[in-house]
Structure 1
Amino acid sequence: MTVQTAARSGSTDKLLILAAVCFAGLCMPLSFTAPSVALPAIGRNFGVSPVALGWVMNAFILAFGSTVMAAGALADRYGRKRLFTIGMAAFTVISAVIGYAPNLLVLELLRAVQGVAAALAMAGGAASLAHEFDGEARTRAYGMLGTSFGVGLALGPVWAGYLIETFGWRSVFLTGVAIGLLVLAFGVPRMSESRDPDATGVDPWGTATFTATLLLFTFAVMEAPHRGWSDAGVIAMLAGAALMLGLFILVEKLQQRPMLDLSLFAYPRFLGAQALPLATAFGFVVPLVILPARFIGAEGMTEIEVGLMLLPLCLPIAIVPLLGAFLTRWIPAATLAAIGLTLAAAGLAWLATVSPGSPRMAFILPLALIGIGSGLPWGLMDALAVSVVPKERAGMATGIFSTVRVAGEALALAATGAVLMGLTRAGLGPVAGRGEAQLTTLANELAGGGLAQASVLAPELSRAAMMLVYGDAYRSTLIVLALINLATAVIALLTLRPQRAAGIDGHQACRA
């Protein structure tokens, strides 16, 4: 084989490796957006309330978020290719099994296992790109990974709507099987193994305490609207979360090579980078998850119509991150991030003015503005976060960033659900002949978009009255989300201003 032929062969292998990681990246947002569209159909199938359905999303998010740092440490220690292969194989098998879940509990447990598999795959795959590519090639590789996430987000709702109406909600979980098989057959065999020779492996105590912190806090936030914030169980869970967080920090400080290097949080730029995914969680992910219930329950749309309605929100995430990375040649990352978050805040405030029952075209422009605004910081986050650590610790860096991002999404969904339910409960006020428990059930149904079931529970309330309560609660919730985005825009300006994203370790990463 000549040198030129070998170079072409090597280039082809790298393209297939990149394609494999990008297709794996495509699976993750599909596993997130498709089930969000399927939730109403799942609820009808199993006959459960919107509150119970929340764990279909949270089980995946929490499992991913609580294990991805450990997955990054395992990738550094035992090999990025090995972890990527194990993760994709497990993800493919679970995707095949999950479509046959006999009840909601089994579905939620399988979603948790799927989240762990996704964490292994993404930690290994993203870290492998840092090993396979250098310089500008690495810039383009991470840009393609970000684009694949964006494509998954953009296509997920439409694809899910089509599958649900054609084959039923169970079919949305089978897409990962076909993609997983392609990745395992054509991409994995061409990957080279890489690891950090100084890595010490997973931190079991750190993983356990961090997972306990996330679970206790998220469960407390989800349960508080139903039990009340003064409930002994809620207080106990919040206290337990605080205790576990303290133990986690202590454990990490005692580790020679912790899975979470706490010293990184002394860098303002690193803190600013971690704030960005929290803002996009509240500004983009939360609307993406809660809007399908509104569109189906309050606006009377079908699943495929919901997918089409979400396109203005999701489609910009496939395009704008690359535009943001390109613009860093002339505009500082802090300015771009602040502009994007401000645009997203404006879109959320605009969406808050759209009352239930409004013409469908009234949703299009505010949703597009949210998507465009969220896309600008989304394309800057990876490079800002990963560049703080040496190349050999890429697994840890991607693990930290993914953890903050995904854990933030879980907490954002739980907190927003609690706010929406609390505002709905307050709007209902005392309903004649109903105790606190009945009012809470009614508020849960109404906040989840279940106007039909709410009408059965409270037949004396007209649909117009319920729509008014629902619209007021939704409006106030969206205003809160807008304010969070504005606050983060200020944080981005204060912490990220000193450096331009284009100068970060010579590369730029885009991620959706």
Structure 2
Amino acid sequence: MDQTAQHPHGKWLVLAAVCLAGMMMPLAFTAPGIAIPAISHDLGGSALALAWVVNGFILAFGSAVMAAGALADRFGRKRMFTIGVIAFGLISLAQVFVPDLLTLNILRALQGMAAAMAMAGGSASLAHEFDGTARTHAYSLLGTSFGTGLAIGPLWSGFVIEHFGWRSIFLTCVVLSVMVLIFGVPRMRESRDPQAKGVDIWGTITFTATLLLLTLGILQGPQSGWASLPTLAMLVGSAIALAIFIQVERTHPRSMLDLQLFRNWRFIGAQALPSGTAFSFVVPLVILPIRFIGIEGYDPVHAGMMMVPLSLPMLIVPLLAALSTRWIAASTLCLIGFVISSVGLLWLGTVPPGAAQTDFVWPMLLIGVGASLPWGLMDDLAISVVAKERAGMAAGFFATVRLASESLALAIVAAVLAGLLQVIMLRELGSNVPAVALGNALAAGDLAQAHGLLPQTSHATWLHVYGSAFQTMTFLLAGLTLATGLLAFFTLRRAPARQAEPVLVPVTIAAQSGSCPQ
């Protein structure tokens, strides 16, 4: 490991650079959610294809993060961080000039892999730069940067889209990448793990295939039917890939996942937490902008402002939740958060299309506050429920599960919404309507396309159909959120009490490299 001397102020510039990179990642995730209606209008595409503007980034990030962490340990954290940031910036620049939706989706997947490389190298580098309390504070600031990206992403994206067009949102990532490369990378020291092992290539490939085929199958179901050959082929292929992955992990001498961890119920409970936040927070973060712009008729700026009650609590509540663990068990706080989010989702489902803007504020604020309670606790819980020597593996796997949960949750909800819209239209408008095409149009917030397909239908009817489907979807989200919260609570409630100052942020990559802050 390199131990070259460094000016004391240099490490704080490194921290600032990594935090800036940390803010880019959620910004790159939330911005396209605001832009999807504009992308649909400009590039066209079905609801299935448009879903991959968001899903492609998350799925690629989640599939690559464990491999990226192993490569960072072996070939250098600074090198991996630098390559990741450069690739992230160049791909962001390329997205400004995309000619069609397919190219955009491919670039979004590549951008997700670049983001995984940057965060793998950056997070592990912080563990090398800081020790003790300073390390805890550094990771706390990194967590705050994630919250900042989530909080300001929709508002900033709405402003940029309104004034400069949807393509300009990717220029923000280009500018941030350049700033990171200029101010942070030159002051970063190289470090490696001399004991680092190689990457579990076949484990990575089969795990990625499992996620990809499962997500494709879920999204394809409402398009061609759940019993259709394409849908069944993808779902069966996913099951086969999962079986191969399990066999690889059982026999590979350097497996990325020790399957013995699944005998630990608390470990399983920790993996349920990101599913709860995916259903309660990530899905509304993506679905609501489509509704606000396409169905409610808000411009992108107003849509971004409407997202503030949902995302703003991420700046404050995770810190308060971490401090509260001195008096309240983390599992209890997580359950309280999921109950609050469930109430907010039920309330949101009762707000009909065309309602006043103020009717959305309180339910969205409840959802944001509720999701923020487990958000700042679940990374550390995922590590604390296993033996210390397994912390790195548990943390690396949790990072993957977290992103995979978000991708699958978005796919499930997109499929459910499209399916509900089809059923309601067949019931309300008759069996002769093009239900699949209409469902895709409404799911993408494209009322103009729906009206073009069925011009005799009134605007009020379209709002009624969408509102009925949206209400059922939010009620389902509330149930899933509560169910995962209860599962996590009953499996985690016997977790040992915390003795140290809480780690407030996603430390998964650093932990994977064997340098998780204590």
What TM bracket, shorter-length normalisation?
over 0.9
Match of 2:32 in 1: 35
How far the C-alpha of 1:461 sits from its partner, in A, is: 2.1
Deviations 1:145-203 (A, max 9, x none): 11101100111011111111111111100111111122122222332333333322211
Q: How does 1:81-480 map to 2 (within 5 A)?
A: 81-387=78-384, 396-429=393-426, 431-432=429-430, 434=432, 438-480=434-476
Match of 1:3 in 2: none
Which region of structure 1 is more displaced relative to structure 2, 376-385 or 44-53?
44-53
The question of whether the paired residues in 2 share the 8 Å contact of 1:22 and 1:145 is answered with yes
2:43 aligned to which of 42, 46, 49: 46
Instruction: Provide the C-alpha distance between the structure 1 equivalents of 2:395 and 2:76, rounded to a whole number of angstroms.
Output: 15
**Letter of the 1:463 counterpart:** H
Which region of structure 1 is more displaced relative to structure 2, 268-277 or 400-409?
268-277
The question of whether the paired residues in 2 share the 8 Å contact of 1:383 and 1:501 is answered with no
1:510 aligned to which of 505, 509, 513: 505
Match of 2:513 in 1: none
Provide the secondary structure at the position in 2 that maps to 1:429. helix
Provide the secondary structure at the position in 1 that maps to 2:184. helix
**Letter of the 2:258 counterpart:** D
How far the C-alpha of 1:112 sits from its partner, in A, is: 1.0
Moved over 6 A (4+): 389-395
Provide the secondary structure at the position in 2 that maps to 1:503. coil
How far the C-alpha of 1:507 sits from its partner, in A, is: 4.3
The question of whether the paired residues in 1 share the 8 Å contact of 2:322 and 2:502 is answered with no
Instruction: Provide the C-alpha distance between the structure 2 equivalents of 1:206 and 1:44, rounded to a whole number of angstroms.
Output: 39
Deviations 1:460-510 (A, max 9, x none): 322222211211110011011111111122122212222366436x64132
The question of whether the paired residues in 1 share the 8 Å contact of 2:85 and 2:181 is answered with yes
The answer to whether residue 73 in structure 2 is matched with residue 76 in structure 1 is yes
Instruction: Provide the C-alpha distance between the structure 1 equivalents of 2:426 and 2:145, rounded to a whole number of angstroms.
Output: 46
Deviations 1:218-253 (A, max 9, x none): 000000011111101211111110000010111111
Provide the secondary structure at the position in 2 that maps to 1:449. coil
* Change beyond 3 A, Cα 1:503–1:80: farther
Instruction: Provide the C-alpha distance between the structure 2 equivalents of 1:204 and 1:81, rounded to a whole number of angstroms.
Output: 22
Instruction: Provide the C-alpha distance between the structure 1 equivalents of 2:118 and 2:259, rounded to a whole number of angstroms.
Output: 24
Deviations 1:371-423 (A, max 9, x none): 01100100012222244678898765543222111111110000001111111
Instruction: Provide the C-alpha distance between the structure 1 equivalents of 2:119 and 2:389, rounded to a whole number of angstroms.
Output: 17
Match of 1:487 in 2: 483
How far the C-alpha of 1:106 sits from its partner, in A, is: 1.2
Deviations 1:283-337 (A, max 9, x none): 1010010111111121110000000000000111111111111111211111111
Which region of structure 1 is more displaced relative to structure 2, 195-204 or 310-319?
195-204
The question of whether the paired residues in 2 share the 8 Å contact of 1:220 and 1:234 is answered with yes
Deviations 1:40-59 (A, max 9, x none): 11111113333321111111
* Change beyond 3 A, Cα 1:304–1:167: same
* Change beyond 3 A, Cα 1:111–1:248: same
**Letter of the 1:267 counterpart:** N
**Letter of the 1:489 counterpart:** G
Instruction: Provide the C-alpha distance between the structure 1 equivalents of 2:431 and 2:442, rounded to a whole number of angstroms.
Output: 18
**Letter of the 1:462 counterpart:** S
Provide the secondary structure at the position in 2 that maps to 1:119. helix
Unmatched tracts of structure 2, length 5 or more: 508-518
The question of whether the paired residues in 1 share the 8 Å contact of 2:271 and 2:398 is answered with yes
How far the C-alpha of 1:260 sits from its partner, in A, is: 2.2
Which region of structure 1 is more displaced relative to structure 2, 219-228 or 50-59?
50-59
The question of whether the paired residues in 1 share the 8 Å contact of 2:385 and 2:495 is answered with no
Provide the secondary structure at the position in 2 that maps to 1:170. helix
Q: How does 1:62-73 map to 2 (within 5 A)?
A: 62-73=59-70
Q: Percent identity?
A: 56
The question of whether the paired residues in 2 share the 8 Å contact of 1:73 and 1:396 is answered with no
Instruction: Provide the C-alpha distance between the structure 1 equivalents of 2:395 and 2:20, rounded to a whole number of angstroms.
Output: 18
The question of whether the paired residues in 2 share the 8 Å contact of 1:150 and 1:511 is answered with no
How far the C-alpha of 1:62 sits from its partner, in A, is: 1.3
Provide the secondary structure at the position in 2 that maps to 1:196. coil
The question of whether the paired residues in 2 share the 8 Å contact of 1:420 and 1:477 is answered with yes
* Change beyond 3 A, Cα 1:275–1:349: same
* Change beyond 3 A, Cα 1:37–1:345: same
Instruction: Provide the C-alpha distance between the structure 1 equivalents of 2:406 and 2:223, rounded to a whole number of angstroms.
Output: 21
Instruction: Provide the C-alpha distance between the structure 2 equivalents of 1:495 and 1:408, rounded to a whole number of angstroms.
Output: 19
The question of whether the paired residues in 2 share the 8 Å contact of 1:69 and 1:396 is answered with no
Which region of structure 1 is more displaced relative to structure 2, 325-334 or 407-416?
325-334
Aligned residues: 503
The question of whether the paired residues in 1 share the 8 Å contact of 2:249 and 2:255 is answered with yes
Which region of structure 1 is more displaced relative to structure 2, 307-316 or 46-55?
46-55
Instruction: Provide the C-alpha distance between the structure 2 equivalents of 1:83 and 1:385, rounded to a whole number of angstroms.
Output: 25
Provide the secondary structure at the position in 1 that maps to 2:9. helix
**Letter of the 2:39 counterpart:** I
Task: Give the TM-score taking structure 1 as reference length.
Answer: 0.93
Instruction: Provide the C-alpha distance between the structure 1 equivalents of 2:386 and 2:181, rounded to a whole number of angstroms.
Output: 30
Provide the secondary structure at the position in 1 that maps to 2:439. helix
* Change beyond 3 A, Cα 1:114–1:394: farther
Instruction: Provide the C-alpha distance between the structure 1 equivalents of 2:388 and 2:183, rounded to a whole number of angstroms.
Output: 26
Instruction: Provide the C-alpha distance between the structure 2 equivalents of 1:101 and 1:453, rounded to a whole number of angstroms.
Output: 23
Provide the secondary structure at the position in 2 that maps to 1:199. coil
Task: Give the TM-score taking structure 2 as reference length.
Answer: 0.92
The question of whether the paired residues in 2 share the 8 Å contact of 1:76 and 1:201 is answered with no
The question of whether the paired residues in 2 share the 8 Å contact of 1:100 and 1:170 is answered with yes
The question of whether the paired residues in 2 share the 8 Å contact of 1:381 and 1:509 is answered with no
The question of whether the paired residues in 1 share the 8 Å contact of 2:37 and 2:444 is answered with no
Provide the secondary structure at the position in 2 that maps to 1:434. coil
The question of whether the paired residues in 2 share the 8 Å contact of 1:344 and 1:373 is answered with yes
Instruction: Provide the C-alpha distance between the structure 1 equivalents of 2:392 and 2:35, rounded to a whole number of angstroms.
Output: 33
